[in-house]
Amino acid sequence: MPSKDRIAYFYDGDVGNVYFGPNHPMKPHRLCMTHHLVLAYELHQKMEIYRPHKAYPVELAQFHSADYVDFLHRITPDTQHLFANELAQYNLGEDCPVFDNLFEFCQIYAGGTIDAARRLNNQLCDIAINWAGGLHHAKKCEASGFCYINDLVLGILELLKYHARVLYIDIDVHHGDGVEEAFYFTDRVMTVSFHKYGDMFFPGTGDVKEVGEREGKYYAINVPLKDGIDDASFSRLFKTIIAKVVETYVPGAIVLQCGADSLAGDRLGCFNLSIEGHAESLFIFLKVTGGGGYTKENVARCWTVETGVLLDAELPNEIPENDYINYFAPDFSLKTQSRNKENLNSKTYLSSIKMQVLESLRLIQHAPGVQMQEVPPDFYIPDFDEDEHNADERVDQHTQDKQIQRDDEYYAGDNDNDHSTEDGT
């Protein structure tokens, strides 16, 4: 069992209070429900809970263009009618509406993922969880698919300060296009996305033939799937591919985007995974974020079960009393079933996808090396908001810990192999 201080969990209740609009499928309230279920199962006693810092515009601009960050900062529901051109330019509107406290919402979920990366970099934990993060569609200069700021890219950039190679795995039902695009030309990040592909399914990218370009050729992996994939076929494919990826690429850190819209019965998804099938992807990880997930009681169930798996905690199937208990009617049980839905992924199809992916991996001769002489600063700005005392104290400790520089944090050749299988759970 991992010791309590080895798992860091990030949560800020304010993130669950924003409202995308009456007909919008993204309900940040699912994050409150998840957190209350985590508390009801007393999982908070087994890990360190942190309130993330609100990421500063300058931190967001490590990936995003400064003008886009600035616009997100300035725009409000009341003023948006004055900025029709900018709204179109930054793809804000229907899928990605402007709502009250939009920028703060972005600052919190991105701050959580950045903090998670920093704690990992400083070896203050082995696993870090930020269910509010995982907004994998956001692009450098525009919003996309309910995502405004790409916290995953920001977290990975942070991890790259300490790790020669970072592996990104995405099990959201949608292609992790924003993260793939950000690292498409580099071999320092390998992106692996399992997703529904075809039938005009959003975002439309993620063919098995998209493998990266230039230095990044063969360092983007796409596993396009059809409707109805079930636990057995998903798990077999996932484990085969990820085991080979880890063996070939030897990542220093792993980021897992755990979008829950790949569960059976999701409002937007079309896969047929049970929560247990979904949670099997946790067999390898370091940093875990949320992502999609649009049947909110199942999102809460899924991420609670997965928090439990990471903590090696047994969770009784009967959901304990909590503020949102009525959402779990009529059976009030934690586990969900997959459904009676046809699996359109034939054995032949899955095997051909697997062969193509393994062939790409074979073309990578060995894990690329990087000379890392100097670790850039973490971009902490000491001038925190008054209302963030808690976070402030944590940061002080964090900053203190960071002063002690350790030789083994630097990349030292191909033996740089501190991934989760060894010092995780």
- Cβ of residue 291: shortest distance to Zn ion, in angstroms? 6
416 annotated as a binding-site residue: no
Which one, 203 or 320, has the nearer CB to Zn ion? Answer: 203
- In the chain, the N- to C-terminal Cα span, in Å, equals 7
Could you give the strand order of the β-sheet that contains 253-257, starting from the edge strand earlier in sequence?
48-50, 7-10, 127-130, 287-289, 253-257, 166-170, 189-196, 220-225
109 annotated as a binding-site residue: no
Contacts of 377 (CB under 8 A, 6+ apart): none
- Known catalytic membership, residue 73: no
**CB distance 38 to 44 below 8 Å:** yes
- Cβ of residue 259: shortest distance to Zn ion, in angstroms? 5
Which one, 15 or 26, has the nearer CB to Zn ion? Answer: 26
Which one, 122 or 274, has the nearer CB to Zn ion? Answer: 274
In the set 137, 175, 195, 278, the catalytic residue is 137
Helix (H, G, I), strand (E, B) or coil at 102: helix
172 annotated as a binding-site residue: yes
**CB distance 192 to 242 below 8 Å:** yes
Q: Where are the alpha helices (DSSP H) in 295-366?
A: 296-311, 347-363
Cα–Cα dist 302/166, whole Å:
25
95 annotated as a binding-site residue: yes
Strand partners, 196: 225
Cα–Cα dist 319/37, whole Å:
8
Which one, 23 or 373, has the nearer CB to Zn ion? Answer: 23
Number of residues written out for the chain: 425
Q: Closest-CB residue for Zn ion? A: 292
Q: Which residues bind Zn ion (CB under 5 A)?
A: 172, 174, 259, 261, 292
Cα–Cα dist 164/316, whole Å:
41
414 annotated as a binding-site residue: no
Which one, 299 or 361, has the nearer CB to Zn ion? Answer: 299
Q: Among 221, 203, 237, which residue's Cα sits nearest to residue 343?
A: 237
Q: Using the 8-state DSSP alphabet, how is residue 133 labeled?
A: -
Cα–Cα dist 139/153, whole Å:
9
Q: Beta strand pairing status for 287-289 and 127-130?
A: parallel
- Cβ of residue 5: shortest distance to Zn ion, in angstroms? 32
The token pair at 239 is 């484990």
CA distances from 353 to 205, 230, 349, 356 (A): 16, 16, 6, 5
- Cβ of residue 170: shortest distance to Zn ion, in angstroms? 9
Which one, 46 or 136, has the nearer CB to Zn ion? Answer: 136
**Residues acting as catalytic residues:** 137
**Residue positions forming the annotated binding site for substrate:** 95, 145, 294
**Residue positions forming the annotated binding site:** 95, 145, 172, 174, 261, 294
**Residue positions forming the annotated binding site for a divalent metal cation:** 172, 174, 261
